[in-house]
């Protein structure tokens, strides 16, 4: 009888722990969804109004939450913007990985990488505007500068990894400087998109992106 009275107590304690665990998991899931909801709203608001012309209330209205809830998840405006930058970085990398995960040919991978980079101007111009706004902060905000440095380094690292793979597989010249090519691609991407955003009548964007891609491939491809 003594054993039978203890077992229900043990089971009851186990159930309590499981309920608590489930509640904690649900809270974390809700928090994750809320944070993404808020950072997405911040992304849209900054793209529309610019870095200096928005308020936390603007973001709260766009997200459909109270300003108090924003402060619950983000201690201040800078913390929220840094989180947004990190999410943007992760999103760009995730898209590239998804687009190239089944691709074996490094030439195709490099083509996809450059296409994704140059296509941002047309497929997600808000992203470009947000990055432009954040760039104005690097002189005054070291934290923002570190995140943007990591963002651009991530671009270069992804491109450099593809070029190195091409060299190893014999698709690209052994003498290719992978870091230089990656830096060149990112420089072309950043410079061309900036000029196009400022003056889209200066050149035909698609024509110039194609020429840049051809130039890059002419520098790295092995002769057949």
pLDDT higher than threshold 60 for residue 205: yes
Q: How many Å apart are CA 62 and CA 37, to the nearest integer?
A: 9
- E-assigned strand segments in 58-202: none
Q: What is the pLDDT of residue 1?
A: 47
Residues 152-179: tens digit of each pLDDT: 888 899 999 999 999 999 999 999 999 9
- Asked if pLDDT for residue 21 goes beyond 60, the answer is no
pTM summary value: 0.74
- The conformation of residue 223, written as its DSSP 8-state character, comes to P
* Contact partners, residue 83, CB within 8 Å, separation at least 6: 35, 39, 74
The answer to whether 106 touches 166, Cβ cutoff 8 Å, is yes
Q: Do 85 and 144 touch, CB atoms closer than 8 A? A: yes
Q: What is the pLDDT of residue 147?
A: 81
The b/e string for 139-148 (b: 16+ C-beta within 10 A; e otherwise) is eebeebeebb
- Per-residue pLDDT reduced to its tens digit, 187-204: 999 899 889 888 889 899
Digit-coded pLDDT (tens) for 32-68 = 788 888 888 888 888 888 777 888 888 888 888 888 8
For residue 16, what pLDDT band results from cuts at 50, 70 and 90?
A: low
- 110's CB contacts (< 8 A; 6+ apart) are 159, 162, 163, 166, 216, 217, 220
**117 pLDDT more than 70:** yes
Q: What percent of the chain has pLDDT over 70?
A: 90
- Report the alpha-carbon distance of residue 153 to residue 156 in Å, rounded: 5
User: How large is the average pLDDT for residues 205-216?
Assistant: 94
Residue 48 is encoded by which pair of tokens? 């529309």
101: which strand partners? none
Mean pLDDT of the chain: 83
Residue 215: per-residue pLDDT = 96
Domains in the chain, CATH or no CATH each = 1-74 (1.10.10.60), 77-224 (1.10.357.10)
């Amino acid at each position: 009888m003594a054993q039978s009275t203890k077992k229900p107590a043990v089971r009851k304690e186990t159930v309590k722990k499981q309920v608590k665990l489930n509640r904690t998991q649900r809270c974390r899931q809700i928090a994750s969804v809320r944070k993404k909801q808020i950072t997405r709203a911040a992304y849209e608001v900054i793209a529309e109004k610019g870095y200096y012309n928005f308020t936390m209330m603007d973001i709260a209205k766009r997200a459909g939450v109270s300003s108090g809830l924003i402060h619950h998840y983000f201690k201040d405006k800078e913390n929220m913007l840094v989180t947004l930058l990190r999410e943007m970085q992760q999103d760009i990398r995730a898209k590239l990985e998804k687009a190239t995960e089944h691709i074996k040919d490094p030439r195709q991978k490099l083509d996809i990488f450059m296409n994704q980079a140059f296509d941002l101007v047309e497929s997600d111009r808000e992203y470009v505007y947000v990055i432009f706004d954040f760039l104005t902060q690097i002189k005054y905000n070291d934290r923002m500068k570190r995140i943007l440095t990591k963002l651009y380094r991530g671009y270069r690292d992804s491109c450099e990894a593809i070029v190195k793979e091409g060299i190893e597989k014999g698709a690209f010249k052994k003498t290719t400087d992978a870091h230089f090519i990656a830096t060149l691609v990112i420089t072309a991407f950043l410079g061309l998109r900036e000029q196009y955003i400022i003056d889209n009548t200066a050149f035909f964007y698609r024509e110039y992106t194609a020429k840049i891609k051809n130039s890059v491939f002419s520098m790295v491809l092995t002769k057949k």
